[in-house]
Amino acid sequence: MDEGRMKKTVTELADGRELIYFDSRPGGSRDAPDRRRLPRAVSSSEVRLDRLQGERVGYAAHRQQRTHLPPADQCPLCPSRGERLSEIPAQSYQVAVFENRFPSFSHDTGRCEVVCFTERHEASFADLTEEQAALVLHAWTDRTAGLARHPAVREVYCFENRGREIGVTLAHPHGQIYGYPFVTPRTGRALRSAAAHREHTGTSLFDELVAQERENGSRVVLETAHWIAFVPFAARWPYEVHLYPARRVADLTELDDPARAEFPGVYLELLRRFDRLFGPDAGPTPYISGWHQAPFGIEERADWALHLELFTIRRGPGKLKYLAGSESGANVFVNDVLPEAAARRLREVASA
């Protein structure tokens, strides 16, 4: 996709929240006003520090009132048509991003946005064309750059929750972008491990891990000229894939044109393999997919490696991986599927 031909339209919803349309080519009107009568958006969230664990916890009591699994004809992410008014005032759209009406973090505690991948309510990300997936990548990149300028944001996480088993509250194909006001615990631990490795060896831990997976090969799911996807050696989830660009970069804004051009085909293939894991009668595979990017304003940023993690909580047909006593209570994962077996299965379900 020619990024120079893409169109970005910034507007405002009736309550003052920002809405951004992304189109794959110039043209088309995106100036439809939000006809709803909404009070000015007001949300309150709080972040507290767990001093014993050294981790932060967010509080957003207003989220108790958020929309929960409405019928399709009341979906707030479909386009507005006739008297059915939604969060998207336009009668059609390609990709739309807006400030979450019920954010986990807001104002001086960060920012939360919703990303609508398509106007088609019954679709999924795996149903998109490569051109549509490229437009979503463009939106993720644009918002990463935009949130980097937000005074309260330290780290940006673009992610998708898919499936009722995961806990989604809206069926329409969408994801979210969190601008955290702190470095998340998972990222912080990885940064410390990478820094210790650099101090001890003078090399990148991320580069070493990718090189080891490529050399071993048993856990590699697919590899192209600009991307490699593998099940990590110590995978926590039954089916978990990490996707890395061949050239190490800190975040989405640093991806080069060849990697951007190749990403849609690679990612769509991974998602379609996930949907074939458990056979045609199992239904769509629930998953979480998210980009792990370097935090802003830290010295270790240059040593980070952008990567996407995709995993499912489904461990077999009709079986879910529950985070019970060991996982939830002690944070010690016990996996039911060996990483090598998971990678083998993901290779078996490759597109013909």
Render pLDDT for 88-127 as a digit per residue (tens, 0 to 9).
Answer: 999 999 999 999 999 999 888 999 999 999 999 999 999 9
The one-character DSSP state at 295 is P
Closest CA to 95 of 223, 6, 180, 35: 6
Mean pLDDT score, 319-341: 96
Q: What is the pLDDT of residue 42?
A: 83
Judge whether 277 and 313 are in contact, CB under 8 Å. Answer: no
Contact (CB, 8 A) for 242 and 229: yes
The domain made up of 3-33+54-180 is a member of CATH 3.90.870.10: no
Q: What is the DSSP string of 178-206?
A: EEESS--HHHHHHHHHHHHHHHHHSS-HH
In the predicted model, is pLDDT for residue 179 greater than 80? yes
Phi, psi of 114 (to 5 degrees): -105, 135
Q: What is the pLDDT of residues 9-34, one digit of tens each?
A: 999 999 999 999 999 987 767 889 99
Exposure class string for 266-295: b at 16+ Cβ within 10 A, else e: bbbbbbbbbbbbbeeeeeebbbbbbbbbbb
Q: How far is CA 202 from CA 25, 198, 207, 351, in A?
A: 45, 5, 12, 40
> What is the share, in percent, of the chain residues with pLDDT greater than 70?
99
- Interval 154-170 mean pLDDT: 96
* pTM recorded for the entire structure: 0.97
Over the stretch 304-314, which tens digit does the pLDDT of each residue have?
A: 999 999 999 99
Q: Does residue 20 contact residue 96 with C-beta atoms inside 8 Å?
A: yes
Whether 65 shows a pLDDT value over 80: the answer reads yes
Mean pLDDT of the chain: 95
Question: What is the mean predicted confidence (pLDDT) over 290-308?
Answer: 96
Instruction: Please give the pLDDT value at position 187.
Output: 98
Fold classification of 193-348 is: HIT family, subunit A (3.30.428)
Q: At 43, is the pLDDT very low, low, confident or very high (cuts 50, 70, 90)?
A: confident
Report the percentage of the chain scoring pLDDT > 90.
91
Same fold, 3-33+54-180 and 193-348: yes
Catalytic residue annotation:
174
Mean pLDDT computed over 195-205? 97
Q: Is the pLDDT of residue 2 over 70?
A: no
Predicted confidence at residue 44, as pLDDT, reads 83
The phi-psi region of residue 315 (left if phi > 0; otherwise alpha if psi is between -120 and 50; otherwise beta) is alpha
Give residue 199's region: left, alpha or beta (phi > 0; psi -120 to 50): alpha
Residue 27 confidence (pLDDT): 72
Quote the pLDDT of residue 308. Answer: 99
pLDDT of residue 26: 77
How much is the average pLDDT of 122-149?
Answer: 98
End-to-end CA separation in angstroms for the chain: 25
Domain locations in the chain?
A: 3-33+54-180, 193-348
